[in-house]
Amino acid sequence: MNIDQNTALYGVIGNPVRHSLGPVMHNAAFSAAMINAVYLAFEVEDIKASLQGMAALGIKGLSVTTPFKSAVIPFLDEMDPLAVRIGAVNTIVNREGRLKGYDTDATGAVKALEEKMVLKGLHSMIIGAGGAARAIGFSLKERGVRISIANRSPQRGASLARDLDCPYLPLNRTGVKKVDLLVQTTPVGMFPHEGESPVSEEMFHEDLVAMDIIYNPRETTFLKMAKARGAATIDGLGMFVHQGAEQFLLWTGVDPPFEIMYRAVESRLGESST
């Protein structure tokens, strides 16, 4: 990677964000596409100041992760209609100082799921009530999936359930629910707290497909518990790369080198597990 006065700057903002493999994925993509750009991780606390800095410094694009996917919205100049409908943003494009928000989580999650299963007619429970949960919930509903929301905070969980017009269940009662697809969207179990799971093992059964959107570690405690109870599992790597590929296209207008992006992240995860 040669950095010079013409190198475009991209990055990810969140807190925490040092675990992110976004730099590995996007820098591999820029290199493969021969684009003079670099992607960095920025752990931030003040989202308004961060976006002011983005515009002032000419940062071309940002990924947005926990806990800012909804908090970022008031500070944008414009939003894509899908992001407006979902109420969450994970991608920002800077066009001549105007910041436009998009959501690629929805597309990423659905593509990862549809690689493994037919969605229409299923009953899915989504664990969490953040930006990713919103995006996945709206997308699954559009594909004919019955959904329900489980969350630790009753206020946030019930609010999302109202927006999605679906049932809400307190997280400590999820064991009584039998569903076809269980999607875990919270940071619980993410590096460096790999030993945690948001639900107990009684939630899992042999007819269940369990997806965790966390990709680091690739097999979370949530997925290990699901597998031990006979459930099929889907890790977060596919969703992560699919949503990243959509970001790359939005930022550059160039077809994303998906396989290169996938292998770059998979290889780094393999290194960290040895």
Topology, domain 107-235: Rossmann fold (3.40.50)
- pLDDT at position 262 is 98
One digit per residue, pLDDT tens: the chain, 274 residues?
A: 689 999 999 999 999 998 899 999 999 999 999 999 999 999 999 999 999 999 999 999 999 999 999 999 999 999 999 999 999 999 999 999 999 999 999 999 999 999 999 999 999 999 999 999 999 999 999 999 999 999 999 999 999 999 999 999 988 766 556 899 999 999 999 977 899 999 999 889 999 999 999 999 999 999 999 999 999 999 999 999 999 999 999 999 999 999 999 999 999 998 876 5
Residue spans of alpha helices (H) in 58-197: 81-86, 105-114, 131-142, 154-164
- Cα gap 146→254, rounded to integer Å: 35
CB atoms within 10 A of CB 258: 14
Give the pLDDT of residue 273.
Answer: 63
| Bond prior to 192 in cis (omega within 30° of 0) | yes
pLDDT of residue 171: 84
Catalytic residues: 69
**pLDDT score at 274:** 55
Q: Where are the domains of the chain?
A: 8-103+240-272, 107-235
CATH top-level class of 8-103+240-272: alpha beta
CB atoms within 10 A of CB 106: 26
pTM for the model: 0.94
Given this model, what pLDDT does residue 173 score? 66
Task: Please give the pLDDT value at position 178.
Answer: 80
By DSSP bridging, strand 98-102 and strand 91-95 are antiparallel
Task: In whole angstroms, give the CA distance from residue 92 to residue 99.
Answer: 6
Q: How many CB atoms lie within 10 A of CB 105?
A: 31
Strands 146-151 and 123-127: parallel
- Output Rg (C-alpha) for the chain, integer angstroms: 18
Half-sphere exposure of 81 (CA within 13 A, CB side): 0
Asked, colleague to colleague, whether 8-103+240-272 and 107-235 share their fold, the answer is yes
